[in-house]
């Protein structure tokens, strides 16, 4: 049976630039570099638990993708925006308020913030919140403050 997602792969235009972003900027551990095949692999979290693979390709062969890094909800709420801003990474949410702040997906529930890598891939920090889904009153996402005021379904 399927127990989780072990790895995902992205095409990148400049492998060295992407290695710097994922290792130095985001802090992932490089576990393999393939100079001949122009690949790099990173551990996500604990070694041998999850992996990100990067494959260098010409720009016209790159399809923009999305994936999310699982993080502690408290870290997302209290530190994620500052973490990204210190690294000159613009972040966003789906609240339509033009603020760089996490949002809550009411149906999961989970707290989240989005950002881009150097190739335009949409990345996300996400943390599942304790408890049950809450009434979203026709809203898909809300601010964390609004989330705290909603009733459980």
User: Contact 116/89 with Cβ under 8 angstroms?
Assistant: yes
pLDDT tens, residue by residue, 99-140: 999 999 998 999 999 999 999 999 999 999 998 888 766 678
Cβ neighbors of 8 (< 8 A, separation 6 or more) are: 51, 52, 53, 65, 67
Is the model's pLDDT at 85 over the cut of 70?
yes
Residues of the chain with CATH 3.10.180.10: 7-60, 66-149
Cβ neighbors of 111 (< 8 A, separation 6 or more) are: 73, 76, 77, 102, 103, 104, 126, 127, 129, 144
Q: Which CATH superfamily is domain 7-60 in?
A: 2,3-Dihydroxybiphenyl 1,2-Dioxygenase, domain 1 (3.10.180.10)
What's residue 136's pLDDT?
A: 63
What's residue 137's pLDDT?
A: 63
Decide: pTM greater than 0.85: yes
Q: Which CATH superfamily is domain 66-149 in?
A: 2,3-Dihydroxybiphenyl 1,2-Dioxygenase, domain 1 (3.10.180.10)
pLDDT tens, residue by residue, 11-58: 999 999 999 999 999 999 999 999 999 999 999 999 999 999 999 999
What's residue 140's pLDDT?
A: 85
């Amino acid at each position: 049976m399927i127990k989780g997602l072990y790895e995902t792969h992205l095409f990148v235009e400049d492998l060295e630039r992407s290695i710097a972003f994922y290792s130095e900027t985001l802090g992932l551990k490089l576990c393999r570099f393939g100079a001949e095949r122009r690949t790099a692999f990173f551990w996500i979290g604990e070694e041998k638990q999850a992996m990100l693979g990067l494959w260098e390709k010409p720009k016209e062969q790159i399809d923009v993708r999305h994936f999310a890094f699982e993080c502690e909800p408290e870290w997302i709420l209290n530190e994620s925006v500052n973490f990204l801003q210190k690294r000159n990474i613009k972040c966003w949410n789906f609240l339509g308020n033009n603020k760089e702040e996490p949002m809550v997906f009411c149906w999961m529930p989970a707290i989240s913030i989005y950002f881009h890598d150097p190739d335009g891939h949409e990345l996300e920090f996400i943390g599942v919140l304790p408890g049950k889904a809450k009434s979203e009153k026709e809203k898909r996402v809300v601010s964390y403050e609004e989330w705290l005021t909603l009733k459980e379904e």
